[in-house]
Chain A
Amino acid sequence: MRRVMLCTVVAAGALWAVGCGGSKGSGNGSGASAQTGGAAGGAAATTASGPTGNATVSGVIHFTGTAPANPKIDMSQESACAAKHPTPPTEPQYVVANGKLGNVFVYVKSGLPADAKYSPPGAAVEIDQDGCLYRPRVFGVVVNQKILIKNDDPVLHNIKAVPKENRGFNISQPTAGMQTTRTFTTPEVMVPLECNVHGWMHAWVGVLPHPFFSTSGTDGSFSIKNLPAGTYTIEAWHEKLGTQTQAVTVGAGETKTADFTFSGPKA
């Protein structure tokens, strides 16, 4: 019972934070921008209210050891999707090139002022179902920011979110050209997205109360910009290799490097 009460308080607090973020944020016209780094970064959060600055935390995600082979996908039942892949497709669990790791979600876990509130940027973040894969596979949104779900495949996809802190959804997009918008109302790293028609389709979305996040590109690089000066805990998340954190202190106008190194799973 006590647990239930506690959860209620937490949930109520989150709702309050979201609600207040919206009203308070409208006064801030500075238009903070937190860019995602690299090609696989997905759409960036373009504008947000709340305190921002001109500090940057950037770095590279290194990978040591041997990455397990990505699972092969049998797309024979979906010729329209298979045709989009010049080489036999695999599920991109490990995006590794030259010792760098892509699709790592890097974000400010803590360190922002306690009263900092950020309203969601107006622009939606897009996730596309293309060739029976999600593009991007790993991305972030600000709480209540729109996620535009698109289907570019002439086949049935269902897109199902399986969150813990948020309400999920499970909607069908039976053909190409379909679009749907959804939002998450509570911070949660990460919310899994999946397609049940195609069991190999997975994506993850990090839902944060601020715009300070980035996804590493194929070159392993990431960059979190427009941070106010401060000391932050930066967390790096990978779908198979878990999380790592490090503390970074960055002054106004500074750029600090925070590299991470993930090792392949032990055989």
Chain B
Amino acid sequence: MSEVTAEQVRAVVLEELSEPIAALGLEPDQLPDDFDLLTTGVIDSLGLIELIVAVNERFGLDIDFEELDPESLTVLGPFSHYVASAAP
């Protein structure tokens, strides 16, 4: 079983969202860990759920979404760390 790191998750998130991020004139590499994907308008709430589905599918995970705190769930750093820590 291969380990999933927060960096890998972050890279997948940025890849999945490359278009909306570019549309806002932002550089994916420059985004800080406290960048909030929801409040900055990169994605809406349904878009975030789509992202979670995509991340689960990419890493073959089945993360229990209910355990996530909505406050940090939409923030780049905490999201990536949460997915990595929840992975087996």
Partners in one complex: no
Which A residues are closer than 8 A to B by beta carbons? none
Which B residues are closer than 8 A to A by beta carbons? none
